Amino acid sequence: MPVPHHHRPVGPLTGGVLALAVLAVSSSAPLVAFAAAPALAIAFWRNLLAVGVLGPFALARRRAEFRALTRSAGGGDGPADGHAPAGVGRREGWWCVLSGVALAAHFATWMPSVQLTSVAAAVALVATQPVWQGLIARGQGRRLPPAVWVGIAVAVGGAVLASGADFAVSGRAFAGDLLAVAGGLFAAIYTALGERARATVTTTTYTTICYGVCALILLVVCLVGGVPLGGYDTGTWLAILGLVAGAQLLGHSMFNYALRRVSATTVSLLILLEAPGAALLAWAWLGQLPRVGALPGLALILAGVTVVVLGGARAGRRAVPVPLPADAAPLSAGPGPLPGSAPDRSA
In the chain, the N- to C-terminal Cα span, in Å, equals 24
Using a pLDDT cut of 90, give the percent of the chain over it: 19
Give me the residue spans of the domains in the chain. 12-316
pLDDT digits (tens, 9 = 90+) for 29-88: 788 888 889 989 999 999 999 999 989 998 998 888 888 888 765 444 444 444 556 667
More confident: 7 or 211? 211
CA distance 338 to 328: 8
pLDDT digits (tens, 9 = 90+) for 295-313: 787 788 778 777 876 765 5
CA nearest neighbour of 32 among 305, 242, 254, 229: 242
Phi, psi of 341 (to 5 degrees): -110, 170
pLDDT digits (tens, 9 = 90+) for 152-178: 788 778 776 765 655 556 778 888 889
More confident: 133 or 182? 182
Q: How confident is the model at residue 285 (pLDDT cuts 50, 70, 90)?
A: confident
CA distance 161 to 164: 5
Q: Is the pLDDT of residue 183 over 80?
A: yes
Give the model's pLDDT for residue 179. Answer: 93
